[in-house]
Amino acid sequence: MRFLRLVGILLIVARHRLDRLLPADRPVPLRYRALLVLVRLVPAPGTSPAASLRLTFESLGPIFIKFGQILSTRRDLFDEETANELQKLQDQVPPFPSHEARRVIESSLGESVDRLFNQFDVDPLASASVAQVHAAVLTTGEEVVVKVIRPGIRPLIERDLKVMYMMASWLERIWVDGRRLHPVDIVRDYERTVLDELDLQLEAANTTQLRANWQHSGKLYVPKVYWDYTRNNVMVMERIYGLTAADVAGMRARNVNMKRLAHLGVEIFFTQVFEDNFFHADMHPGNVFIDATDPENPTYIALDCAIIGSLTEDDKNYLARNLLAFFHRDYNEVARLHVESGWVPADTDVHEFESVIRSVCEPVFQKPIAEISFGRVLLSLFQTARRFNMEVQPQLVLLQKTLLNIEGMGRQIYPDLDLWETAAPFMERWMKERMGVGGLFKRLRHNAPGLLEQLPELPQLAIDALHEIRALGRNNREQTLVLSQLRTELQHQNRARRLNRMGGVALVAALIAALMPLTGVAATHEALLGSSLLGSLGVYWMFIRP
């Protein structure tokens, strides 16, 4: 079955002539040239290579469409045209029959749909690659949406993932840039993402946490999850109403304060990243709604929390310092932080790296503020850093993708969005709080329970540490003594080897002298005496000497 699927995929790839995406100036290994020759017998379509890649994903079905959507966010890997073409992939796919959705709900929740809900809409509100959503009303009267995983989707995903791994591995071997782009790692990231999306209890947990973080903020609303109706393949949550983030005309018709809304989106993003360390990493317009009830103070509604990002404390610290250095155009600090954080190798020439960063960023800063995309500045920096063997940082790629989404959505709402105006004061305040006295007390308060728990054990820990230090001292002395003995023994062995070599030479010399008469050479009395002495010394050094 997998073999037939692979053959079908290769035929579609050949029909769209995706070989055109391979750089013409890069040699293809000899063992793959015959295959490429066969592919190139197929006439090239009229579409561009980038458009052909998008059409290939569309032809291959929902799992590859989802893969293409995720690839569209990896602008660190693709040129602008390819990324834009992949972004055109639509999330709408044909829905599966409603009777199958009912069967999944009933088998998961153990009750008939008619007993679970007062009303259940047969036609889905939306249908995506992995799941579809139906509107319903609970028996208690609350309006909800019911998200249902596509029946039988897991075996199809696992089959196509195996094929993707095969193709990615092949691409790494056939394409020189394949090693740098890590296609196998990209498929592995996709596997993790798509399999997480199959677990609706994980999405429900993420949704509940994000809701708790923002419940009383008045800035971001996250719908309530009904846990009694939620399982791995079914999730029931509160139904919300609002304008999609892409409905700019609708917002203008309601006289929404667009500038405030755009800046609020930036504030929400940076708060999620740096204060909550729990950020919604899939905030494209389809997952973000606008509550325009109060047009002067609009707020956001977040949906689909399957993909959540977080950073380590070190990464947050380095990222914040990098952002502030960018804001202040301190390129030496940016270069130094990249080395210090380990994002580029430790032997990187900081001054050379600084010059390259300046050459990338200075032309950008000469533009009007409304034309500067901070997300694209970061993207250009990551692409430039590849020259210095900067490995792709998965946690930063997810963050960068989210920042691009937020900035793009904000610019769509308010074209003159100045991301720096909101971000810079936020970052400066965050760094001040983190590094100041308040930040110190906050960390102490956070660590206090653990410290108090260990407090009774501190005397014993101190005694154990002293014992270990004494034992370490004894071990060091013993090791020093052993090393000294080894050194003496090695010296004796070296001296013995030298003497043995001298004894061997003496024996050979004595043997030659003793054999001289047999060869017709007259031996003098002195020669015979010398031979005897040499032979005696050789026997002593090699056999008698202790």
**Are the beta carbons of 245 and 405 closer than 8 angstroms?**
no
> Who contacts 473 (Cβ-Cβ below 8 Å, separation ≥6)?
none
Q: List the structure tokens of 412.
A: 């769509």
Residue 469 placed within a domain: yes
How far apart are alpha carbons 429 and 448 in whole angstroms?
24
How far apart are alpha carbons 56 and 11 in whole angstroms?
10
How far apart are alpha carbons 377 and 385 in whole angstroms?
12
How far apart are alpha carbons 370 and 372 in whole angstroms?
6
Domain boundary at 240, 255, 277, which? Answer: 240
238 compared with 413, residue with greater pLDDT: 238
Residues 389 and 252 in one domain: yes
Residues 22 and 147 in one domain: no
Residue 447 placed within a domain: no
What element of type H or E holds 222? none
Q: List the structure tokens of 170.
A: 């092949």
* Containing structural domain, residue 13: 1-88
Domain boundary at 367, 401, 435, which? Answer: 435
DSSP character string of 454-505:
HGGGHHHHHHHHHHHHHHHHHHHHHHHHHHHHHHHHHHHHHHHHHHHHHHHH
Per-residue pLDDT, 236: 97
Q: Does residue 513 register a pLDDT over 60? A: no
Q: 309-323, pLDDT tens digit by residue?
A: 888 888 888 888 888
Range of 2-16, 62-76, 489-503 with top mean pLDDT: 2-16
> Who contacts 297 (Cβ-Cβ below 8 Å, separation ≥6)?
257, 260
Q: Mean per-residue pLDDT for 373-399? A: 68
DSSP character string of 52-81:
HHHHHHHHH-HHHHHHHHHHHT-TTTS-HH
Amino acid at 98: S
End-to-end Cα distance, the chain: 77
Residue 519 placed within a domain: yes
Q: What's the pLDDT band for 113 if we cut at 50, 70, 90?
A: very high
Which residue in this structure is represented by tokens 């014992």? 467
For this structure, is 314 an active site residue?
no
Which residue in this structure is represented by tokens 């960018």? 326
Query: Mean pLDDT in the chain?
Result: 78
Domain boundary at 206, 240, 274, which? Answer: 240
Q: What's the pLDDT band for 521 if we cut at 50, 70, 90?
A: very low
Residues 252 and 329 in one domain: yes
Residues 35 and 160 in one domain: no
Residues 116 and 177 in one domain: yes
DSSP H stretches of helix in 294-436: 313-327, 331-341, 350-365, 374-385, 394-413, 419-435
Strand, helix or coil for residue 115: helix
Residues 384 and 248 in one domain: yes
Q: Mean per-residue pLDDT for 187-193? A: 81
Residue 74 placed within a domain: yes
Residues 220 and 297 in one domain: no
How far apart are alpha carbons 207 and 376 in whole angstroms?
29
Residues 42 and 185 in one domain: no
**Number of domains within the chain:** 4
**Are the beta carbons of 213 and 276 closer than 8 angstroms?**
yes
Residue 296 placed within a domain: yes
Which of these, 104, 111, 114, lies nearest to 138 by C-alpha position? 114
Which candidate in 189, 196, 247, 282 is catalytic? Answer: 282
Q: Does residue 244 register a pLDDT over 70? A: yes
Residues 210 and 267 in one domain: no
**Are the beta carbons of 141 and 179 closer than 8 angstroms?**
no
Q: List the structure tokens of 171.
A: 């691409």
Q: List the structure tokens of 404.
A: 């691009």
Residues 140 and 222 in one domain: yes
Per-residue pLDDT, 230: 96
Residue 452 placed within a domain: no
Chain Cα centroid distance, residue 146: 31
Per-residue pLDDT, 518: 46
Amino acid at 320: A
Residue 117 placed within a domain: yes
Residues 291 and 411 in one domain: yes
Number of Cβ within a 10 Å radius of residue 524: 10
Residues 54 and 195 in one domain: no
DSSP H stretches of helix in 62-148: 62-72, 80-87, 98-109, 113-116
Kindly list the distances between the CA atom of residue 65 and the CA atoms of 312, 401, 408, in Å, as whole numbers in the listed order. Answer: 31, 18, 22
DSSP character string of 412-424:
HH-TT--HHHHHH
Q: Does residue 420 register a pLDDT over 80? A: no
Task: Give Rg (Cα) of the chain.
Answer: 36
Per-residue pLDDT, 24: 65
436 compared with 380, residue with greater pLDDT: 380
Per-residue pLDDT, 281: 85
Residue 270 placed within a domain: yes
Q: 47-87, pLDDT tens digit by residue?
A: 888 889 888 888 887 778 877 877 776 665 677 788 788 87
Q: 77-88, pLDDT tens digit by residue?
A: 677 788 788 877
DSSP character string of 2-70:
HHHHHHHHHHHHHHTTGGGGS-TTSPPPHHHHHHHHHHTTSPPPSS-HHHHHHHHHHHH-HHHHHHHHH
